[in-house]
Amino acid sequence: MARLNWGMIGGGKGSQIGPAHLLGARADGNFVLAAGALDVDAERGRAYAEELCVAPDRAYADWQEMLEGEKARADRIDLVTVATPNSTHFEITKAFLEAGFNVLCEKPMTMTVEEGEEIVKVARASGKICAVNYCYSAYPMVREMRHMVATGQIGKVRLVVANFSHGHHGDATDADNPRVRWRYDPAMAGVSGQFADCGIHALHMASFVVGDEVRELSADFASTIPSRELEDDAMVNFRMEGGTVGRLWTSSVAIGRQHGFDIQVFGETGGLRWASEQPNQVYYTPVGGRTQIMEKGEGGLSDEAARLSRVAIAHPEGFPLAVANIYVDLAAALKGEAHGAFPVAEDGLRSMAAVHQAVASAKAGGAWVDARPPSLR
């Protein structure tokens, strides 16, 4: 079984997400890094690519050169990962899709709803994969929750509560740090700060686990550090198509929460709880019964959860392997094999619509608004 050729744009030395993609693509031996335009500084990018064993002629100066170079090759890359700054995701993803490449795009997929609609259209026309890296959805126990809900093990879902709150932007004296400041600057971050950054992970998670989409929402945004133009704390209430009530809190000033991404799902006959800091357990409570601790790797889990775990029960698997699971599913899809439900362009579009509509709702004093992109209503 030959390995698939993989390319990456962005993700250069010192980037936060680059190492996770490198490890994710490598972990299971499905992909070989064959091409890259890894850095906005062409020389640095080429040097890093060669350090990563990319052939010199495939260590590109920028994504445009890479697009041209790869298009011309018989052994062109099977998948390209877009891990560049957010505002460039749209044009790169679009260009590669149009040229017939499969793409894994970092979130957010685009900056506007219109761009999102465009990507969905292009992806559909291309017949290629356009995946979006909502990687938390690829944890084995997240897949297990989705499976449990889908197979009716907690009955109809009444309520879902998803939080993604941390405190790493809580130091006002650090607010001018460029690594923090851009996130709250509309020129770079767009219409939303924390909700667009972390909130959409939680929103996707809610949809993914419940197996339903958000129909309408009401939002309350706050900039708790006054110098910030964009929100650093947000609450979004929502309703899903099937009537499920949703609550989503996201914050970057919640000092003491490290990576407080968790979800609780409450149905007619049971409840589920999962937290990203301890991703290998799910707490499941049947109505009227005791809470049970489910473990990744235990007997009797769904094929989906079992397939995405590599080591025995209670040997923890972490975040990089959740990213790796996205690559496992993509490799399977590329080879025409059975695979799980990885997030795609429509998910990226839905997130963008929810972001823009949440901003609108917050500005309108929490008015309820349609959360859906025009094409998916």
List the interface residues with its own copies, window 84-113 (CB under 8 A).
none
Write the DSSP symbol of residue 174. Answer: G
**C-beta of 90 vs 284, nearer to its own copies:** 284
**C-beta of 292 vs 375, nearer to its own copies:** 292
For residues 242 and 373, give the distance between their C-alpha atoms in angstroms, rounded to a whole number. 17
Among 13, 15, 19, 211, binds its own copies (CB under 8 A): 19
Coil/strand/helix, residue 224:
coil
CB-CB neighbours of 225 under 10 Å: 18
Among 15, 87, 88, 237, binds its own copies (CB under 8 A): 237
Is 308 among the residues that bind its own copies (CB under 8 A)? no
Is 339 among the residues that bind its own copies (CB under 8 A)? no
Among 100, 186, 316, 374, binds its own copies (CB under 8 A): 316
Pairing state between β 103-105 and 79-83: parallel
Cβ pair 234, 164 in contact under 8 A: no
Kindly identify the residues of this chain, within the stretch 205-224, that bind its own copies according to CB under 8 A.
Answer: 218, 220, 222, 224
Among 46, 166, 204, 307, binds its own copies (CB under 8 A): 166
Tokens of 23: 């490890």
Q: What is the DSSP string of 231-289?
A: -SEEEEEEEETT--EEEEEEES--TT-SSEEEEEEEESSEEEEEETTEEEEEEEEETTS
> Pattern of binders to its own copies over 21-50, x per CB under 8 A?
-xx--xxxx---x----------------x
**C-beta of 169 vs 372, nearer to its own copies:** 169
For residues 293 and 77, give the distance between their C-alpha atoms in angstroms, rounded to a whole number. 42
CB-CB neighbours of 259 under 10 Å: 15
Kindly identify the residues of this chain, within the stretch 257-296, that bind its own copies according to CB under 8 A.
Answer: 257-259, 264, 266-268, 270-273, 276-280, 283-288, 290-295
Which span sits near its own copies by CB under 8 A: 61-69, 88-96, 108-116, 241-249? 241-249
Is 227 among the residues that bind its own copies (CB under 8 A)? no
Write the DSSP symbol of residue 100. Answer: T
Is 51 among the residues that bind its own copies (CB under 8 A)? yes
The single-letter code of the amino acid at 223 is S
Among 298, 332, 360, 370, binds its own copies (CB under 8 A): 298
Is 358 among the residues that bind its own copies (CB under 8 A)? no
Q: Is the dihedral of CA 18, 106, 24, 79 positive or negative?
A: negative
Longest dimension (CA), the chain: 64
